[in-house]
Amino acid sequence: SYRISSDGKPAKFQPPPKPVIIDKQKQKEERRFLSPEFIPPRGRTDPLKFYMERKDMIQRRKVFNIPEFYVGHILAVTTANPYASEKASRFVGICIQRGGKGLGATFVLRNVIEDQGVEICYELYNPQIQAIEVLKLEKRLDDNLMYLRDALPEYSTFDVNMKPVSRLDHEEVPVNKLQVRMKPKPWSKRWERPKFNIKGIKFELPEKKMKEAQKWSQPWLEFDMLREYDTSKIEEKIWKEVSEELKK
């Protein structure tokens, strides 16, 4: 027996919806990550120079594994140190900044050891680095966590002997929407200003101060056409080149 619609005529046979097959392999391949130091900066330099640098970077990556990591991940780096016993020193910290392009790319790790905040800036392609392990994968709301210097020390302390957190799902990197509480002002930079565009701080400042900070906003910047630098096509080309070279 078929359903009778409000018109009184029998409804047309609707076939059941087709099953959607989610191919997990394909989804895995679709997620591309190109390390930001591969993207050449805007300028009048000859592209041959970037090609030579990229060759060297790929060569180093073949020998030494540099894992995919973002700002906010907790990493452990072992470097060769001629003055340490066992000739290797290990440092664990949260990555607060990734800077530089090409072979000079750097990342800054921060940790609080015995109530003293320590930040070390490592070069990704420095041959003295023996190993980089990702202990915890976690993206934050901002690209630059320099405000952790003015936050309460509990947000920058990480256990030096932390075990790596295992992750089975290779789908997406989780985003930690933590809002950090700050020490009382003065801070090293005026983080409430719109220039920094920080979303990861819980500002406990009075409304008046927050409104005054908005005076320094430059809303025309996002519409400035001369500042546009569309890297999507460059990224695709470079991603293809890098992935093909690394597969060899």
Partner 1 sequence: MMPVWTKSGKRHAVTLLKVQDCHVLRYISKEESGGKRPLLLVGGKNASPFFKSEAAMEIFREAGVPRKQKVTTFSVTDDAIIKPGTPLYAAHFRPGQVVDVTAKTIGKGFQGVMKRWGFKGQPASHGQTKTHRRPGAISTNKAAKVYLGKKMPGKMGNIYRTSFGLKVWRINTKHDIIYVNGSVPGHTNCLVKVRDSKLPTCKDCNKNPPFPTFFADGDEELPEDLYDEEVFQFTEPSVTYT
By the criterion CB under 8 A, which residues form the site for partner 1? Answer: 43-46, 48-49, 52-53, 56, 59-60, 63-64, 80-82, 87-88, 102-104, 123, 125-130
Closer Cβ to partner 1, 77 or 148, answer by number: 77
C-alpha distances (whole Å) from 132 to each of 43, 107, 137, 213 are 31, 12, 13, 39
What residues contact residue 111 under an 8 Å CB cut-off, 6+ apart? 91, 92, 93, 94, 117, 118, 156, 157, 158, 160
Closer Cβ to partner 1, 126 or 197, answer by number: 126
- Taking the complex as a whole, the smallest distance from the CB of residue 245 to partner 1 amounts, in Å, to 13
- Rg, Å, the chain Cα set: 24
- Taking the complex as a whole, the smallest distance from the CB of residue 247 to partner 1 amounts, in Å, to 18
Q: How far apart are CA 243 and CA 248, in angstroms?
A: 9
- Taking the complex as a whole, the smallest distance from the CB of residue 45 to partner 1 amounts, in Å, to 6
Closer Cβ to partner 1, 65 or 161, answer by number: 65
Q: Is 185 helix (H, G, I), strand (E, B) or coil?
A: coil
Tell me 219's DSSP state: T
- Taking the complex as a whole, the smallest distance from the CB of residue 51 to partner 1 amounts, in Å, to 9
CB 120 within 8 A of CB 108: yes
Closer Cβ to partner 1, 128 or 179, answer by number: 128
- Taking the complex as a whole, the smallest distance from the CB of residue 224 to partner 1 amounts, in Å, to 25
Closer Cβ to partner 1, 11 or 246, answer by number: 246
Closer Cβ to partner 1, 112 or 129, answer by number: 129
- Taking the complex as a whole, the smallest distance from the CB of residue 235 to partner 1 amounts, in Å, to 21
C-alpha distances (whole Å) from 212 to each of 2, 47, 208 are 68, 45, 6
> How many CA atoms are closer than 13 Å to the CA of 197, on its beta-carbon side?
10
